[in-house]
Chains A and B, each alone.
Chain A
């Protein structure tokens, strides 16, 4: 079976599923969930088919059908299947299927259960469309659609204002980044007259586009990625996005949508590469982001926030990886993180489901009560920390190695940031693990292990998180071949780097164990760092800056001021002109029409009846004045005749 040829079905199937759920879901058994799952499952099967064909060595397949002609612009719709896409297919569909199944349990009894599945499937389809897109516009369509799905799902429990606030924040923040993205598309279109990414990159590589334009285009596109992938300084929305249901966080805000930025950079790697500066920017943004996010993760009490900052940090890793080591390095981390992070989120969901709270301070000692959750969460934590041979270890190592190899100023900065972040990651993941599962239970009620429908996906993802990295291990090296073609060489294992990365990971975990190993300490050291803690708890005051510096001013004073201008100045000018015209006509009437009349007496005289008698002498309306006017007119005419006009 030629899976490449039918790859266009991959995004379509979940979309169809979504529509079916939306329109007939309520009336079907299972309230629509099975339909959605079926759609995603079918998509997964196709993805696997594509994946194995790709492994089998099949090259790039690109097919674009003509869709629109708008003047000189030709827009196609189609598919591009290559290693990058195949890997993304698998990550997206696997995680999505796992989340769909898990949600049947997690969302059981929700008011908008059906709607939830419809949105989830819609998201999956949109994400797959983004992945499959051969041109920028199609990519943009997927890009925006996943954004709105994210909005819908973050705000799923919109009865709470906080949730809808978070949803709006997420949408608007990413949309701000999209300003750059759209302009980047416009710029590249202007330079190349095509939307096709392959053609654009070929032109860029061939030097047909001026270097400055390439850089500008790439940087503009990267703004989009900064928003979508929650990179500094637009990362602020992602922690808030945890307001959505946990499975949604796992799917959208850990494994898939947020990786779209990384994916986009990888997809357009040659474009970024033909402008070295753009690539360096990507790496530097990654370096900054990974560090500041990791620091933030250390002070969180909400387990989902810990994971959220961890996600930001790891996305930054990916960015740095793409920036320094090429698409393979970054996407490899994306791939392993996809499984690991969704595993952790679903695990966290399981915990939350059990204790009805997101807060680590209300957990503790759950190891015994929830063994499956614990085991899988442990796998995830170790993976995140970078303990071999778990999947994330290989990919993280690859990136640190790439940084080391890259050298130069940027390489060194990224290397240091990556190592420090590795330590911090191990520490905060250990902190979360221990606070949740060790010590005494600090919450309410009697937590129980989650049902199989939830633990099942956990197990599956745990297995994947454990072993999926092997394909990219230096001694296998398959992953870079998939992505960069057969010619890509596997980088040799660098023992020093390997030792360093494992070392800091172990150190971090041990430090965490030292502090949190027996449950929550009386004084959490991360919260006792004085000024630093204050800065971290307040998220570097960035939220405040945005909210108080931009959003509120625009929302209130600026908007009000503009509106005031509208009402008072612009509208006022119109009304003023009208008033002026009235005054003027009044003047004309009073003075000119009553020409030769003693005074300006008019309707006022009629209105003020009592004055009438007194003003009688001034009244106009006397016939002889009319006659006088006629005679005066004649006299003037005679004068004009005499002067021969």
Chain B
């Protein structure tokens, strides 16, 4: 049982692109964060696929992915806090309205 290496890689690329779209195109801060999560998942999918392909003794791909999950958790935490802070000061969670700096 085997799988061509590039299958998951292309899937990851697609996931990454979808996440990127969400980051740019979604108004609501929380939805933007979801996009970021998708991008990070794409990364993890890459890492795991390569690990499965390489089977390196250090399990580097898996460990890396694990750390990415941890960091992603931290970032979501901070990100949500910022969204809440923004909401508190501006009464909106829309990133589009965060535009105090103009020049």
Interface residues of A (CB under 8 A from B): 601-603, 605-606, 616, 619-625, 627-628, 631
Contact = CB atoms under 8 A, between A and B. Distances in A.
B20 A602 contact: no
Interface of B: 20, 23-25, 32, 95-96, 98-103
Best-buried of B24, B25, B100, B102 by chain A (most CB within 10 Å)? B102
Given A627-B23, A628-B24, A631-B24, A622 B95 contact: yes
Contacts of A621: 99-103
A606 B103 contact: yes
Given A616-B99, A622-B96, 12 more contacts: A603-B102, A619-B99, A620-B99, A621-B100, A621-B103, A623-B98, A624-B23, A627-B23, A627-B24, A628-B24, A631-B20, A631-B23
B98 to A, nearest CB: 6
Contacts of A628: 24
A622 B25 CA distance: 12
B103 A602 contact: yes
B82 to A, nearest CB: 11
A534 B83 CA distance: 101
> Which DSSP category, helix, strand, loop or mixed, fits chain A's interface?
helix
A625 B96 CA distance: 10
Nearest to A622: B99
Nearest to A589: B103
B88 to A, nearest CB: 17
Contact of B102 (A605, A624, A627, A631): A605
A606 B95 CA distance: 21
* Cβ-closest 5 pairs across A and B: A628-B24, A621-B101, A621-B99, A602-B103, A603-B103
A23 B23 CA distance: 92
A620 B96 CA distance: 10
30 contacts: A602-B102, A603-B103, A605-B102, A605-B103, A606-B103, A616-B99, A619-B102, A620-B99, A620-B102, A621-B99, A621-B101, A621-B102, A621-B103, A622-B95, A622-B96, A622-B98, A622-B99, A623-B95, A623-B98, A624-B23, A624-B25, A624-B32, A624-B96, A625-B24, A627-B23, A627-B24, A628-B24, A631-B20, A631-B23, A631-B24
Nearest to A604: B103
Contacts of A631: 20, 23-24
Nearest to A612: B102
A606 B103 CA distance: 9
Contacts of B25: 624
B57 to A, nearest CB: 30
Nearest to A638: B13
A157 B12 CA distance: 102
B24 A624 contact: yes
B36 to A, nearest CB: 10
